[in-house]
């Protein structure tokens, strides 16, 4: 049930991300801030889906990037950077922040994945 609920959140989160992008872009009169708001909303949606699935460490790790990008965007905007530069610099800085915090979140083994084992073939197996 949790997986189904998290999958039903996908179109809802996408719609809300588009609405957030439009509202932010119109309010700031900047395409770049709206574009950044779209990615922030999508990142928050990914964290929400992980939370609905019951994976709290993954949800916390996934919320690091949207939170960092929001903080950096406000910082660089207040420093007087152009909107397009704020977009790129805050994106890169947030990615570095998330990468720096990676050792604090242990990697979990994938669940439900298929495992393929390769082996060599003998000539006897190929001939009738």
Burial environment of residue 66 by CB neighbours within 10 A (0 to 12, 13 to 18, 19 or more): buried
Residue at 125 is within a domain: no
- Cα gap 38→21, rounded to integer Å: 5
CB 45 within 8 A of CB 17: yes
Residue at 117 is within a domain: no
Total count of domains within the chain: 1
Q: Which domain holds residue 96?
A: 2-107
pLDDT digits (tens, 9 = 90+) for 47-83: 999 999 888 888 999 999 999 999 999 999 999 999 9
Q: Is residue 3 over pLDDT 90?
A: no
Residue at 119 is within a domain: no
Quick one: average pLDDT of 90-115? 83
Confidence of residue 119 (pLDDT cuts 50, 70, 90): confident
Query: The pTM is what?
Result: 0.78
> What per-residue confidence (pLDDT) applies to 74?
95
């Amino acid at each position: 049930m949790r997986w189904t609920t998290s999958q039903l959140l996908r179109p809802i989160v996408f719609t809300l991300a588009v609405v957030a992008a439009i509202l932010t872009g119109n309010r700031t009169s900047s395409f770049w801030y709206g574009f950044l708001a779209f990615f922030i909303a999508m990142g928050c949606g990914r964290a929400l889906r992980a939370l609905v699935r019951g994976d709290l460490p993954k949800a916390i790790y996934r919320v690091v990037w949207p939170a960092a990008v929001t903080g950096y965007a406000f910082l660089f905007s207040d420093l007087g950077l152009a909107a397009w530069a704020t977009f790129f610099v805050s994106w890169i800085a947030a990615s570095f922040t998330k990468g720096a915090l990676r050792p604090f979140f242990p990697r979990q083994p994938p669940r439900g994945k298929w495992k393929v084992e390769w082996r060599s073939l003998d000539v006897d197996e190929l001939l009738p």
